[in-house]
A and B are shown apart, each in its own frame.
Chain A
Amino acid sequence: MVSKEEIERVAKLMRIEIDDHVVHVDRVQKMIEYFDILDKAGIETQELIVQEQKIENLREDKFIPYEDKLIDKLKNYKGTYIKAPKMV
């Protein structure tokens, strides 16, 4: 059973505010409880199966300037920077 405090701590880490505590906390707890089923899966030693690629497949080291003036299409400050809130 995961505690409310734990859920609040994680939410903060994810920059998620849960003011409607009961509803979200309750449902998240239910979801996490469901995941307990993983304990029964009998998977002690499982090889990691991964996708692989050859080094020849990788991108050539070449400078190609991006064709558009991308900053114009983003939220920009004086046409050049991205503005961020005050860093404390």
Chain B
Amino acid sequence: MSLAISAIKYVNEIKNGNLTAEEFISKTFERIKKIDDNLHAYLSLNDNAIEQARQIDKRIKAKENVGVCLGMPISIKDNICVKETKTTCGSKVLENFVAPYDATVITKLKAEDAIIIGKTNLDEFAMGLTTEFSAYGPSKNPWNAEYVPGGSSGGSAVSVSAQECIASLGSDTGGSVRNPASFCSIVGFKPTYGLVSRFGLISYSNSIEQIGPMTRTVEDNAFLLNIISGLDPNDNTTIDNKNVDYLSNIDAGVEGKKIGIISEMTKGIDKDVSSATNDAVSQFEKLGAKIDEISLEMVEYSVASYYTITATEAGSNLARYDNLRYGFDFDLEGYEFNSYITKARKNFGPEVTRRMILGGFVPSAGHAGKYFLKALKVKNKLTTEINEVFKKVDLLIAPTVPILPFKLGEKVDDPVALFLVDINTVTANLTGKPSISVPFQITNGLPIGIQILGKPMEDKLVLQAAHALEKTTNLPEVPI
């Protein structure tokens, strides 16, 4: 019984009686026990998972109504609230925070009888690209444990890639689902802004982030998207997707579709990534799509705009962490208000600390005009630009990350170099467009992913294009 099966295959095996949920969960736990001390994908595990699996097996046997997930193990990034579970955001500041409610996506998963098998590691408060900023230590890339798995949803990507679960939910603010998906050779999708409820996602930059599925196949991704998407009264920013089925017709292909390749995202990149991108382009052409180069001038400013806007929003979203209502143990005896909360907030890691300072600076009275307001204008201009482009093409492609995965410790000290790893992914967040990363090649044992962007609410088309590209690949299994 292989743990490497897809969600769709799992469902079939359960339905055919070839597999029980309990068996699969037990085997998954064995695998986690074997490899996770090294890979460190998980921050916490669900001790009740096996019992929950047993209950589901009972109900299946009794031919009761069971949800479509049939007990499959899903891991959840630790910035998404799961009721009565520690939700730390990879931070010391929330060391003892036990979420008293389920995020909407969790409610939906549980209603379909998925089993939340554990919470995964992330850069602290989702600010980072490698999980090296987690207060609980980094995660490691299962393709080569000396390399970063990407971030901020690094733990999620590792858990899926290393077969420590069937699938995962991550969050993507500037590439945090797609980037680790690319680095770990899995599928990572950032849906249209508003497609998936953010209720229960602990905010980093609320105007641009989305929860996204991370899976081993594109079909699995559509399968999960069906469950977690939809209008939610608990989140005013959600949009009505009219209950579209993302899985049906997933093999529709890209015949006749016009695809633009974003030139700013393919210049000056790693030569291996460049060559992989060219291969992907040829594959799309063979599949009947028409490829043209297009230009998005604002991409050059997108990273500065992104970090300015996210610093501002993060500075505000993280202000609530003053340790008065929840957080970690720290007696307030002898302190006055400002000195207490300043001391408590010293438990932010160095990257979050820096973003807090940035977030106070760029929107401040003397500087907002130069930084924050300009960043907003860049965001708006980029949106206008990409909307114009989408009048001529159906989809856009680019490599997900301009470079190959790099070693742990390599970039952690150079802030601007680290920023620029995001340059291909932030555009989709700033403009609210759906964007997926599809694993495409392994070069020197390191994964390269290709990114596909679509028009807002055309997530189905993006998944179809991703599926078409995926079918042209024949990638090796993860070497662990």
Contacts and interface: CB of A to CB of B under 8 A. Distances in A.
Is there any pair of Cβ atoms, one from A and one from B, under 8 angstroms apart in the complex? Answer: yes
B180 to A, nearest CB: 23
Interface string A6-42: 1100110111111000011001101110110111110
Contacts of A74: 325-326
Contact of B378 (A41, A59, A82): A41
A85 interface: yes
A10 to B, nearest CB: 4
Contacts of A46: 376-377, 380-381, 384
A51 B354 contact: no
Contacts of A47: 380, 384
A34 B304 contact: yes
Contact of B364 (A10, A40, A48): A10
A24 B364 CA distance: 19
B338 interface: yes
A85 B337 contact: yes
Contacts of A31: 307, 354, 358, 415-416, 419
A87 B337 contact: yes
A28 B319 CA distance: 19
Interface residues of B, number: 58
Contact of A16 (B308, B356, B374): B356
Nearest to A26: B415
B207 to A, nearest CB: 8
B55 interface: no
B299 to A, nearest CB: 11
Interface in B277-307: 298, 300-301, 304-305, 307
Interface string B362-381: 10100000110011111011
B345 A15 contact: yes
B359 interface: yes
A13 to B, nearest CB: 5
A15 to B, nearest CB: 5
B335 A86 contact: yes
A57 B302 CA distance: 32
A88 B364 CA distance: 25
A40 B374 CA distance: 10
A78 interface: no
A40 B354 CA distance: 25
B437 interface: no
A77 to B, nearest CB: 10
Given A31-B358, A49-B384, 13 more contacts: A7-B357, A10-B361, A13-B360, A34-B419, A38-B301, A38-B374, A38-B375, A39-B374, A40-B301, A57-B236, A84-B332, A85-B335, A88-B337
10 interchain residue pairs of minimum CB distance: A43-B377, A46-B377, A14-B360, A10-B360, A85-B340, A38-B374, A85-B332, A41-B301, A73-B100, A46-B380
